[in-house]
Amino acid sequence: MAVKNRSLLFEVPNLDTPKQNPKILRVLVTNEFTRIDFGYTTPWYYEKGGWIKISSKTYLQIEGITTKYCLKEAVGIPIAPKRTNFKSTKDWQFFSLYFESIPQKDCILNMIEAEKPTENDFNYYGIVLKMEEGIEILE
Amino acid sequence: MPINKNAFKRYKVIDMLLRNKMRRYPTLEEITEICKEKLDLENLSTETIKKDIEHMRESQPSGFDAPITYNKQKRGYEYLDPDFVLGGVSLNDSDVDAIKESIDLIRSIGGTRVGEKFSNAMEKILTTLLEEFPDGTKKHSFLQTMTPPKSRGFEYFDLFYNACTTETPISFVHYNYKKRSFSASTIHPFLIKEFENKWYIIGYSEQHKEVRTFGMDRVFEPIRLKKKFIKVQKAIIEQEANDYYGVFPIPNQKKQRIKIRLSDLATNYFEAYPIHESQKIQKEPDGYSIVTFQLVPTIELTRLFLSHGHHVEILEPFWLIEFTENLK
């Protein structure tokens, strides 16, 4: 189902993905950008909670299509090599990543930070977006 | 945009000239010259005065709704409505005194407890008043209230206020301090509440399928949604607004009678600062007292009782005694 000229918000249920932290919370699809909202809680196994950053080469990809939708802006998380160093294992951070606009069509979305990811990279697979489930937002 | 103090001085001169029945229809050049003279402004241009007039014409709250028009026949400016008052109010001496006293209070409350829109309006009133009553600028304030620094999430006050008034559902990200988890929520808000300098948004939560309270400090990126608003029964709204001490109700508890016994010391405080309209105190000969409330029990109420230590003893309901014991 294709929808045009609307901004649609998707509240993302828990994904069946090994990467649960940061947690994907919402996806906002507009004609100007695609925004993904994340929530991150620092884990116990890093002293002082560790750190976060995002690669400038991070992109979105729709399954079955080779086009890459590049990262345009990051809010609440620095672009590597800069990074946010946490101060405790009880810290937390909300952040948003803005990518190029994806077509408003039903799709399965992947977010790739690294082609050959380590456990520290933010790669997510299988974000199902059904346009009829998107909620139109007021601009 | 807050009004610049100098600009307001010029507005006052413009207003005075447009009101002058002895010399009606002043031109832009005449207004500029008189402003220069009266306000001691050497470099004032006609362009600035033109912009001032445009600003005065703008609708409130950014302007003054001043009915200024250019009379082509007379080649000058005039007020279309001769009864127009700049600032919208005419004050008698008693009003002036009351406002002068209020300036201190408004200043001490400041902009931290109200949204940006209200802060601008307040600034406008203060600018007006300071022009009228320069002694209001005295350095020493005789009033002090609790004015904490601006809290996280308070920037969304206006958005949530508008959502309540326009019945607009809101999607936001919420962080739960206790569970250390994020979630996306959609709320149909109907009430903003302040309690002990913390702000809360209350509404029907789609995820929880019931009315829920969210601390604004834990809310991120609220987005207004174009979807049908779910209305909550009026009785529930009134209960949220009137029958709580605090904001977080103890689950599955309705409004009920709560009975406590106070020491003579605690009695003084509860007499001086009643915590709810339903509070009734029955004093005993030894100074102790029995106090009853008709309230929905809340977490904050139990914390208040605990904060008084052995000076407060919960008598009824029995479950609340146990519940409070477990919080210790």
- Name the minimum distance, in Å, from the CA of A11 to any CA of chain B: 6
pLDDT at B240: 83
Of B171, B226, B227, the CB nearest to A26: B171
Give the Cα separation of B167 and B171 in Å (integer): 13
Least confident of A80-84, B123-127, B271-275: B123-127
pLDDT at B64: 84
Cβ contact, residue pair B226, A136, below 8 Å:
yes
pLDDT at A60: 97
Mean pLDDT of B242-254: 92
Strand partners, B225: A137
pLDDT at residue B138 tops 60: no
Residue A103, in any domain of the structure: yes
C-alpha atoms less than 13 angstroms from C-alpha of A45 in its C-beta half-sphere:
1
Residue A2, in any domain of the structure: no
- Name the minimum distance, in Å, from the CA of B291 to any CA of chain A: 41
Residues of A in contact with B225 (CB under 8 A): 9, 135-138
Q: What is the pLDDT of residues B43-92, one digit of tens each?
A: 899 999 999 999 888 887 778 888 999 999 989 999 988 878 776 555 56
Give the Cα separation of B215 and B223 in Å (integer): 16
**Domains of chain B (ranges, CATH numbers):** 5-79 (1.10.10.10), 93-137 (no CATH), 154-242 (2.30.30), 256-327 (3.30.70)
Provide the residue count of chain B. Answer: 328
- Name the minimum distance, in Å, from the CA of B327 to any CA of chain A: 23
Band of pLDDT at residue B125, cut at 50, 70 and 90: low
Cβ contact, residue pair A28, B223, below 8 Å:
yes
ipTM exceeding 0.90, yes/no:
yes
pLDDT at residue B127 tops 70: no
- Output the average pLDDT for chain B: 85
pLDDT at residue A86 tops 50: yes
Residues of A (45-84) whose Cβ lies below 8 Å from B: none
A and B: number of Cβ contacts within 8 A:
57
pLDDT at residue B312 tops 90: yes
Residues of B (114-153) whose Cβ lies below 8 Å from A: none
Q: What is the pLDDT of residues B139-170, one digit of tens each?
A: 566 766 666 777 899 899 989 999 999 999 99
Of B173, B180, B223, the CB nearest to A41: B180
Report the predicted TM-score, pTM, of the whole model to 2 decimal places.
Answer: 0.73
pLDDT at residue B1 tops 50: no
> B117 and B123 in contact (C-beta within 8 Å)?
no
Share of chain A above pLDDT 90, in %: 79
Share of chain B above pLDDT 70, in %: 80
- Name the minimum distance, in Å, from the CA of A30 to any CA of chain B: 13
Question: Is some CB atom of chain B closer than 8 A to the CB atom of A12?
Answer: yes
**Chain Cα centroid distance, residue B118:** 7
pLDDT at B111: 52
Q: Is B142 exposed, middle or buried (0-12, 13-18, 19+ CB in 10 A)?
A: exposed
Residue A3, in any domain of the structure: no
| Residue B91 to residues B19, B20, B35, Cα–Cα distance (Å) | 17, 20, 25
Strand partners, B262: B289, B312
Q: In B208-298, where does DSSP find H-type helix? A: 234-242, 264-272
pLDDT at A18: 63
Cβ contact, residue pair A11, B221, below 8 Å:
no
Band of pLDDT at residue B31, cut at 50, 70 and 90: very high
Residue range(s) defining the domain that contains residue A90: 8-136
Mean pLDDT of B196-208: 93
Least confident of B24-33, B113-122, B213-222: B113-122
pLDDT at residue B120 tops 80: no
Number of domains in chain A: 1
Residue A29, in any domain of the structure: yes
Band of pLDDT at residue B134, cut at 50, 70 and 90: low
pLDDT at B16: 86
Cβ contact, residue pair A39, B175, below 8 Å:
yes
- Name the minimum distance, in Å, from the CA of A129 to any CA of chain B: 16
Mean pLDDT of B32-42: 88
> B45 and B33 in contact (C-beta within 8 Å)?
no
CATH code of A60's domain: 2.60.40
Which residues fall within 8 angstroms of residue B286, CB to CB, at 6 or more apart?
B264
Give the Cα separation of B306 and B40 in Å (integer): 64
Band of pLDDT at residue A55, cut at 50, 70 and 90: very high
Least confident of A83-87, A126-130, B5-9, B124-128: B124-128
Question: Is some CB atom of chain A closer than 8 A to the CB atom of B223?
Answer: yes
Please write down the long-range contacts of B310-313, taking CB distance under 8 Å and 24 or more positions apart. Answer: B310/B263, B311/B262, B311/B263, B311/B265, B311/B266, B312/B260, B312/B261, B312/B262, B312/B263, B312/B266, B313/B260, B313/B261, B313/B262
